[in-house]
Amino acid sequence: MTRPDAVWAAVDCDDDDPAETDECLRLEVDIDGRVLATRDPTTDPFTARDEATLQADLERAVVDHELRLDYQPIVELETAAIVGYEALVRWEHPIRGRLPPRDFLGIAQRSEAGAAIDGWVLLEACREAAGWSRSGAAATICINVAPERFAAPRFVERLTAALDMTGLDPSRLMLEITEWTVLVDVDAAQHTLAGLRSLGVRVALDDYGTGYSSLANVAALAVDELKIDISFVAGLGSDRARTAIVRAIVGLGEALDLTVVAEGVESADQAFALRALGCEYGQGFHFGRPTPEPALVSSAVARTS
């Protein structure tokens, strides 16, 4: 049996849930901008003792089959056709019930359970997506990658093992990383990205526009997609500065031949505004909430860069 920490991916907050996004903003972040640990003591339902208990429970969560994946659709804005799904992890705690990422993400990533959970997410998401292919759908599966996993020397090797074990076509996999993940060590990141490209795996810069990546770095990195952060999409039509930023990101994607996906699309007006700005793809509650059973259709097509 393959150990769950033999391959790596990541868990992530549901960026399209406003309540969850607000919660994540109250958490401490690491050097790449990912949420880590501390909570607001005035609103946090968990005590320090609760957190210690949850950490112990997390170490058993993979073995006891308590983790689940929900999938949020990514659509072509012009036609609303589903072209992919982003995998989001949930924890079915035997006592506390279903827990969203905000209630265990930080604890997991700063404990030994992090690698095991990340490995399970990658394997399960790839296994599910491979099954979609066999049923006639060719939707892309998007998985967030933690900086600790991306920086690991054997990351590409471990990812290759996951693809081999699940039978997923590498072209169907999109890995999402933040800008700061690559800026920590640009040379090492370029080496890893080259390895992923040789496999046929595509890479997206997540939450683009909120980090510190220069245009020169974006041009130099072998990425395939830019994901516009929800904070910019929320201001479309009402905030001139944010609308201008969205327009600029779409233009950058077009100039560099990169796919652009807008996150957090919650209304028809936002979808219309994005189409008017030239953005081709989007995800958010307007198109569908995360669900354990994706609405797969045989006409779904994989995105190409």
Residue type, 253: G
> In sequence order, which ranges of 14-101 are alpha helices (DSSP H)?
18-25, 48-61
pLDDT at 164: 96
- Superfamily name and number for 18-282: EAL domain (3.20.20.450)
pLDDT, greater one: 286 or 21: 286
Q: Could you tell me the two tokens for 298? A: 């045989």
Tell me the average pLDDT across 185-212: 88
Tell me the average pLDDT across 42-70: 76
pLDDT in tens, 82-95: 999 999 999 898 88
pLDDT(295) > 50 = yes
Q: Could you tell me the two tokens for 19? A: 């309540």
pLDDT in tens, 238-273: 899 999 999 999 999 999 999 999 999 999 999 999
Q: How many CB atoms lie under 10 A from the CB of residue 292? A: 10
pLDDT at 4: 38
pLDDT at 46: 55
Percent share of the chain, pLDDT over 90: 47
- The H or E element containing residue 120 is helix 113-134
- pLDDT band at residue 183 under the 50/70/90 scheme: confident
Structural domain boundaries in the chain: 18-282
Tell me the average pLDDT across 212-233: 83
- pLDDT band at residue 30 under the 50/70/90 scheme: very low
pLDDT in tens, 107-163: 887 777 888 888 899 999 999 999 887 666 678 999 999 888 888 889 999 999 999
- pLDDT band at residue 6 under the 50/70/90 scheme: very low
Burial class (CB in 10 A: 0-12, 13-18, 19+), 223: buried
